[in-house]
């Protein structure tokens, strides 16, 4: 049983959009945490025990281990009700809409922004030394990402955030994929999707994003072997122990 006064550990790379989402929500809640910045394909056997699907992020607090960013964020709201709420506190309809937008982001945006674009252009060549799937990249850039942006253009507000003046879980869930798109050379065309471009910029400028994202440049510049030292050098809150291996191994993995 979890003791919410115990330290919170997040297992997962700072560059993962799902880890970024959880870290932003921890920041919104004002909760301290440490990070073991591994990717799933470097996870050891104990990582497999904590995350049977070998996915990140994983939250560990005492005897509690939770996988899946949506499960973790829901737990944060329930475990720390005295902290700012991640879901809107208005009507059930608003909370349902927030959950839907989080699901749309986790599933559709994750499939396209991460598996079809970021993984193919950045991760696959870097980790496995093989070129990504050019057809998937082309379809993502020319068809699937524009369709997602067309949808978001009708959902996000002109000003502020989805449910008022404060950023919440739904805003975080949508915005967290855009840094990875940028790392893969894909930017939002502000002339074609002005509301989405403005919304994403507002979200990513919030301290809940800027603080954990300040460590990403150091991670992107470093090799796996150099990662911990590079992150410690820029002040990242790393855990003392790691669940990572020195070499990658193939398996089920979600960034």
pLDDT at 252: 46
Among all chains, which residue has been given the structure tokens 């559709």?
Answer: 108
Instruction: Number of helices (H) and strands (E) in the chain: give both, helices first.
Output: 12, 4
Tell me what pLDDT residue 223 has.
81
- Please calculate the CA angle 79-205-208 and round it to the nearest 5 degrees: 20
Helix, strand or coil for residue 100?
A: helix
| Six token digits for residue 169 | 């879980």
Q: How many residues does the chain have?
A: 255
Helix (H, G, I), strand (E, B) or coil at 65: strand
Task: Name residues of the chain where pLDDT drops below 70.
Answer: 1-2, 124-129, 250-255
What is the C-alpha end-to-end distance of the chain, expressed in Å? 27
């Amino acid at each position: 049983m979890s003791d919410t006064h115990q330290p919170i550990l997040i297992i997962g790379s700072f560059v993962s959009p799902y880890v970024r989402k959880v870290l932003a929500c921890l920041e919104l809640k004002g909760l301290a945490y440490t990070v073991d910045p591994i990717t799933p394909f470097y996870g050891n056997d104990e990582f497999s025990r904590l995350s049977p699907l070998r996915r990140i992020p994983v939250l560990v607090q005492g005897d509690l281990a939770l996988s899946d960013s949506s499960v973790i964020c829901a737990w944060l709201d329930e475990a720390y009700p005295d902290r700012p709420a991640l879901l809107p506190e208005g009507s059930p309809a608003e909370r349902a809409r927030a959950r839907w937008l989080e699901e749309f982001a986790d599933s559709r945006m994750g499939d396209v922004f991460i598996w079809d674009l970021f993984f193919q252009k950045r991760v696959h060549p870097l980790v496995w030394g093989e070129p990504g799937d050019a057809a998937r990249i082309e379809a993502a850039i020319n068809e699937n990402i524009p369709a997602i942006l067309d949808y978001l253009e009708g959902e996000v507000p002109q000003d502020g955030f989805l449910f008022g003046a404060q950023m919440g879980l739904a805003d975080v869930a949508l915005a967290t994929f855009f840094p990875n798109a940028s790392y893969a050379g894909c930017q939002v065309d502000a002339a074609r999707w002005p509301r989405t471009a403005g919304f994403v910029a507002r979200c990513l400028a919030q301290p809940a994003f800027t603080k954990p994202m300040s460590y990403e440049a150091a991670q992107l510049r470093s090799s796996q072997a150099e990662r911990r030292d590079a992150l410690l050098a820029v002040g990242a809150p790393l855990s003392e122990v790691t669940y990572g291996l020195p070499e990658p191994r193939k398996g089920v993995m979600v960034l």
